[in-house]
Structure 1
């Protein structure tokens, strides 16, 4: 018994050691960003040049106007201004330090959630060991900070529905997608409280940002003009089409490498149609689902973000940070249905790092190597999205609950070996 307690005591120490070692490696890679396999400085350039330029505008009390690269909600402003909290450091160094701090917060939150009775530390382990598969990219984008809002939102649901809604709203004001963290809240009072809190928080923060900064909604004009990024699912189709004689080319616009040429607008429209269809499927699941477990809100959030990611016109490599964070949250619960989905996401993350920054030139020029890399990465993501939603759908059917109960009666096992918190119980 004492050996078992000693083992449990050493697991957090091992996790902390792994986090320190992997983050030190990521920092080393960032410091050597100019090497060819690491992108020749392209990864860090976004913080040092683009973010810093926006920082100058934001510090004057205004959001960028007419800037085709500024496509983010108003909540992104305070995040990009946050390095000013560390005036003793350069903007770049302060940004990386704050990103590491957000990363540490996610790790601690996952470890605390996984350390409770009936929970698992697999989520903290996945986040700690899988994030470095993206090399140094997570340290040079603010997607880790955004993911922190979504992770904390989900992990606070069982304790405070209002806090869950507030964190989801704060994340949504930075990069929209954290609002999907609320897609799986149990129907009834839990959903009403979480969404009411989210709306109140969002309105209050938007009013504050509109009072402090000018032009907070100019980003909407830029977002609507985006095309088909070369790393998206539609971009993969167009990449192969170039080998079949399609005359399109690649151009840097709206902050990404995008295809231009015949039928690109059609592919973009199809992507939007698929996104609408995905939203419809999620709504149908909510209407039809009758069985909730403690993991259902986590599983639903992952399925929703996967569906919206694979149907998007843009699948930037940093989007994998979001998926890793949500997959890690799912793995904190032993009730999750998403374990095989998490494995697919980790595999897609590894392939994504090969494509960018390592062989990004191959992707830009749509060589066979580049096309096959994108086919592998996006194929894994599409498979993960379909599998994730299918497993979520099956887990919510009342017939499945009846089958499990009948099987438990037959083999004599307890009917409910893992009690579910009251917040997740639903009335049929």
Structure 2
């Protein structure tokens, strides 16, 4: 039976918080809210790309275009609402994706042995980023990842297909797959992801010219000031390091001595994070209903903290995956979700509120970066430890039998 009172409260909370976010977006020109910089990406850059894409090709040669080909249909989608200006149609579609995520979490939370905490976390967590989520298309991508995870208990095929669509828009949803239970479920999900991805990429290649041109720009990216490596360089600048900050590839990046070494170290750490995931999967023996959710959050955290870039919209991904974890009473990631929420709140202070301080490398700006990234590093480490411990074989005692659903991945 649906718990009507809690659901009604969640609907009221969603309405109030989203109205607040829209109000903040309307005030985007205020200096404390970025001076118009938050919505400028939609009003100028996305709208410009819409014009290029609508003529049948990707933005070839544009160094700011660093997105997989699935981003093309997302940026073209505001054209489906011809009665609205591009920016207004874009915001409407972001809110529509937000409604899909909220509805999916509410539906999951009202099932037996599930919880509405996930829906409450998402509703309350997204506004921590102020109005930034309304001016980026990461809510749409997060919706695909959330739906993929929530579909997994019912259909591994649907999970794989949704993962593929999400990965074509922004690569990170592919990190849902390491948590799929071993055996037939994993094979089915991976095969459906491969088939869907191939079909969708073929369709995009037929509709738009040069869909893989973005790869050239990805390779040239440096160290964004908000990344973990960027925070270290910001600290180094106070010790005499002579680097500077420049706008490159759509982000504020450090340039100067040792920046390339920091970038290469980040890539090496990303490879190490992937190896850690492979090691966990090889050693994992116990799958609970929440293990796929916990593994997805852990994987994205590991790849976020080792990335050369940690844009504020990355927190949208972590909020969505944290919400899915909290929708299950079996999750081991509750402390991690608290750290993610705290890091999200600090991210909004970093951008847009105090971004001038961050770019200038002042002590307050550097302190904000270090504090936020320390929270993310702690969340990643704690997430991996909890994931490892909850999937290792439980100690057995004479005469004790373990429940087969917890010891056999294929049973899930």
Common fold: TM-score over 0.5 = yes
- Correspondences of 1:124-273 after superposition (within 5 Å): 124-273=119-268
Contact between 2:286 and 2:409, CA under 8 Å: does it hold in 1?
no
The whole-number CA distance in structure 1 between the counterparts of 2:333 and 2:117 is: 12
Contact between 2:78 and 2:86, CA under 8 Å: does it hold in 1?
yes
Instruction: Note the C-alpha offset of 1:215.
Output: 1.2
2:245 partner SS: strand
> Which of 297, 301, 304 in structure 2 is aligned with 1:309?
304
Shift in alpha-carbon separation, 1:157–1:423, aligned structure 2, 3 A: farther
The whole-number CA distance in structure 2 between the counterparts of 1:367 and 1:196 is: 50
2:179 partner SS: coil
Contact between 1:290 and 1:426, CA under 8 Å: does it hold in 2?
no
Alignment partner, residue 314 of structure 2: 319
- Correspondences of 1:2-21 after superposition (within 5 Å): 8-21=3-16
Gaps of 5+ in 1: 410-414
Q: Post-superposition, which runs of at least 4 consecutive aligned residues in structure 1 deviate over 3 A?
A: 419-427
Instruction: Note the C-alpha offset of 1:420.
Output: 5.5
* TM-score, length-scaled by structure 1: 0.94
Shift in alpha-carbon separation, 1:318–1:423, aligned structure 2, 3 A: farther
Contact between 1:292 and 1:425, CA under 8 Å: does it hold in 2?
no
- Count of residues paired in the alignment: 411
The whole-number CA distance in structure 1 between the counterparts of 2:63 and 2:327 is: 39
RMSD: 1.7
1:352 partner SS: helix
* TM-score, length-scaled by structure 2: 0.97
Contact between 1:158 and 1:423, CA under 8 Å: does it hold in 2?
no
- Correspondences of 1:35-114 after superposition (within 5 Å): 35-114=30-109
The whole-number CA distance in structure 2 between the counterparts of 1:421 and 1:371 is: 45
Deviations 1:340-387 (A, max 9, x none): 000000000001101100000110011000010001100000000000
The whole-number CA distance in structure 2 between the counterparts of 1:176 and 1:145 is: 13
Deviations 1:17-59 (A, max 9, x none): 0000000000000001000110000000000000000000000
Alignment partner, residue 367 of structure 2: 372
Alignment partner, residue 276 of structure 1: 271
1:183 partner SS: helix
Instruction: Note the C-alpha offset of 1:399.
Output: 3.1
Contact between 2:185 and 2:410, CA under 8 Å: does it hold in 1?
no
Alignment partner, residue 412 of structure 1: none
Contact between 1:166 and 1:201, CA under 8 Å: does it hold in 2?
yes
Gaps of 5+ in 2: none
The whole-number CA distance in structure 1 between the counterparts of 2:265 and 2:227 is: 12
Instruction: Note the C-alpha offset of 1:422.
Output: 11
The whole-number CA distance in structure 2 between the counterparts of 1:425 and 1:198 is: 19
